[in-house]
Amino acid sequence: MDYSGKVAVVTGAASGIGKAIAEALHARGAKIAAVDLNRSGAEAVGEALGGFGAGVDVTDEAALVRFINAAERRLGPIDYYISNAGIGVTDGPGWGAGDAPNAGWQACWDVNVMASVYAARHLARSMASRDGVFVVTASAAGLLNMIGDAPYSATKAAAVAFAESLAITHGDDGLQVHCLCPEGVDTPLVKGIEGGAQGLSGYIDASEVADTLLQAFEDRRFLVTTHPNTPQSVAMKGSEYDRWVGGMRKLRRMLIEANNGRPM
């Protein structure tokens, strides 16, 4: 693919996977607009990559649309939109599936799902008309669950479903959609929970995720996973659901034993 002069918006771009994707796209010639709640981080990444960045709350639809409009005025029509911002909250001290406070559930819903909805509402049709690429960063947790964080698991599963809807609804019009579902990646998001299930297949560098995603662009592959075990686990879940649930319960018991009474 020819990225030269293409315009890419990357959310959650101040660090981790978002920053790595922005760097990978820029290295291939794209113009970068970096978005993050961390204003100084977004500005630093945008400026370092020859574009610009801004502190934007992606759960504020009006603010996000203002940034999208500013990006198109400054850089041109958006060719790549990487909806990457995401958060997790954990189940809290009781570690029950419903124990996380309402505010945590709502925050996960707003960031992990609605931020992509807002961007697609504004961009899907116009990007489709020029064969644009829209990426939803979900998680392997959206495919396989994340023990110890029900809000994250539920909203990342919803993110996967929304990416599917985007691909189904707008694919025939020219929009290329990808759903990125990493397992363990060495980013600020996993600091302090390294003993959780997300790291059982090992942690990889964010730059590896970026390279995998850009290869998926070339291959036009919708579901983008980063660890060899993920597709196998998804297939087993689909074919033997009860066995999978039983296996996850066993894994939870093992994690609790390994982490002094905590599943992560």
- Domain ranges within the chain, ordered by starting residue: 7-230
* pLDDT given at position 195: 58
Select from 49, 35, 18 the least CA-distant residue to 189.
Answer: 18
**Average pLDDT for 39-49:** 98
| Residue 255 phi, psi dihedral angles, 5° rounding | -65, -40
Q: What is the pLDDT of residues 131-172, one digit of tens each?
A: 999 999 999 999 999 999 999 999 999 999 999 999 999 999
Per-residue 3-state assignment (H helix, E strand, C coil) for the chain: CCCCCCEEEEECCCCHHHHHHHHHHHHCCCEEEEEECCHHHHHHHHHHCCCEEEECCCCCHHHHHHHHHHHHHHHCCCCEEEECCCCCCCCCCCCCCCCCCHHHHHHHHHHHHHHHHHHHHHHHHHHHCCCCEEEEECCCHHHHCCCCCHHHHHHHHHHHHHHHHHHHHHHHHCCEEEEEECCCECCHHHCCCCCCHHHCCCCECHHHHHHHHHHHHHHCCCEEECCCHHHHHHHHHHHCHHHHHHHHHHHHHHHHHHCCCCCC
Question: Is 122 within 8 Å of 182 (Cβ atoms)?
Answer: no
* pLDDT given at position 203: 79
Amino acid letter, 188: P
> Rounded CA gap, 153 and 141, in Å?
5
Average pLDDT of the chain to the nearest whole number: 94
Superfamily of domain 7-230: NAD(P)-binding Rossmann-like Domain (3.40.50.720)
**Phi-psi category of 123—alpha, beta or left, where left has phi over 0 and alpha has psi -120 to 50?**
alpha
Q: Which DSSP category does 262 fall into?
A: -
185 falls in which pLDDT band (50, 70, 90)? confident
* pLDDT given at position 193: 62
Q: What is the pLDDT of residues 74-110, one digit of tens each?
A: 999 999 999 999 999 999 889 999 999 999 999 999 9
pTM: 0.94
Judge whether residue 198 has pLDDT over 80: no
Catalytic option among 3, 80, 118, 152: 152
**What is each CA distance from 172 to 2, 21, 130, 157, 179, in whole angstroms?**
22, 26, 12, 24, 17
* pLDDT given at position 63: 98
Select from 252, 9, 261 the least CA-distant residue to 116.
Answer: 9
**Average pLDDT for 3-12:** 97
Judge whether residue 51 has pLDDT over 80: yes
Select from 168, 107, 111, 169 the least CA-distant residue to 137.
Answer: 111
Q: Within a 13 Å sphere around the CA of 157, how many CA atoms are in the beta-carbon half?
A: 10
Select from 191, 244, 192, 202 the least CA-distant residue to 226.
Answer: 202
Question: For residues 199 and 134, which has the higher predicted lDDT (pLDDT)?
Answer: 134
Concerning whether 241 is annotated as a catalytic residue, the answer is no
Q: Within a 13 Å sphere around the CA of 179, how many CA atoms are in the beta-carbon half?
A: 23
**Average pLDDT for 225-244:** 96
113 falls in which pLDDT band (50, 70, 90)? very high
200 falls in which pLDDT band (50, 70, 90)? low
> Rounded CA gap, 128 and 78, in Å?
11
* pLDDT given at position 199: 60
184 falls in which pLDDT band (50, 70, 90)? confident
